[in-house]
Amino acid sequence: MSHDLQFYIDGAWVDPVVPNNLDVIDPSSEDAFAQISLGSKADVDKAVAAAKRAFATFAFTAAEERLDILNRVIDVYKKRSKDLALAVSREMGAPRQMALDSQVGVGQAHLEKMVEVLKTFRFRQVKGSSLIVKEPIGVVGLITPWNWPLNQITCKVGPALAAGCTMVLKPSEIAPLDAIIFAEIIDEAGVPKGVFNLVNGDGPTVGQALASHPDVDMMSFTGSTRAGILVAKAAADTVKRVHQELGGKSANILFPDVDLAKAVTKGVAGCFGNSGQSCNAPTRMLVPCDRHDEAAGYARTAAEKFTVGPADAPGTKLGPVVSQLQFDKIQDLIQSGIDEGATLVAGGPGRPAELNRGYYVRATVFANVTHDMRIAKEEIFGPVLSIMPYDTVEQAIEQANDTVFGLASYIQAKDIEKARQAAARMRSGNVYINYPTWDAGLPFGGYKQSGNGREYAEYGLEDFLEIKGIAGYEAAE
């Protein structure tokens, strides 16, 4: 039985209080292929009430019990991996194999890392005659995006379960089907009723109701900076904790000593991964002035190898972007790059010639980009790379940091000591030196308008905990 038109509340699949259906669009074809229900404040109230009831007991479960729950979730998650991959691929356009290996795979990695963390995490510590206790914060509202949906669901739900919190999840209404399957996984894994609740809906209705709800103790939000500000404002009246992972405009500094061909090629791949729809994508490539044209040539060659096509087509490396809204925004920014005088090296406006339907963006590279251009300042969220020349490494570091964002920075250098010195000066939550492999144990989050708080591993777990000091705990009678 399909649960697409239902919500998961208090351990059961339930119909919405007020029916309100929304089509789910396949960005490869622009056709509707499913429908979901959009929730209301009344649905949020039901879900929060269930989570509040469940918290009274779940908060006091032993870590071993929560560990067992997480392991059961992982077992069912693995069993449903192909279903999850197909849902993600159809709803947000990730190529089929990438959806399975990366989109679904990263979710499994987060859950497995949380099991590893929970096995040794210390929730209690004696300090002198006092006891320091880390306790679950309470009922948490989780709002997740469409670009890496399972990544964000698992790196919020995993630590929330490990902490002993109960929760209400609102996934993106653009990519909701993977979340419905995830709720089925939770149900099959036997997570106690009310601990996990799912209500689909949009930000202005369900998101607002969650963020402003007096019985929600914390909001964990991933999405745009604009939407994150609205969540924070809605949460302010109840003084709840707000954890945000927001936008980015990450710089990739290529030092003069690098193998330029290799560094540029990997930089293009990093920018174009997931069709450029990653908040930490290295979208600004800073290269030495005297090697700028050479770098542009390598970037053109790399970009031309990115085959754009439907998510289910063999050989597709770049699927469509997620929606008409995103497509239009990206096209506007590409045109702005041309109008403001950047050199178009590859790609450009419009769809690839052979594709007349679907939200396809050409793999685009600009060179001679200056710091004042829109494509150097605004988050594009598409397969668009800006190459920016610099005179000195000092100037490159200054330009890299001269942004309202601070999610990630990238440094490529043969001299590792110089790379480390530059990393120390980057104003970002993450710095990646010489394209390292992804690490689920590294804290993830941003400085400045890229958010606050950290996700992944023990850093994510800590954000779902309150700290209580009990004085006199070891006092003599």
Q: Which sequence positions are flagged as catalytic?
A: 245, 279
CB 273 within 8 A of CB 438: no
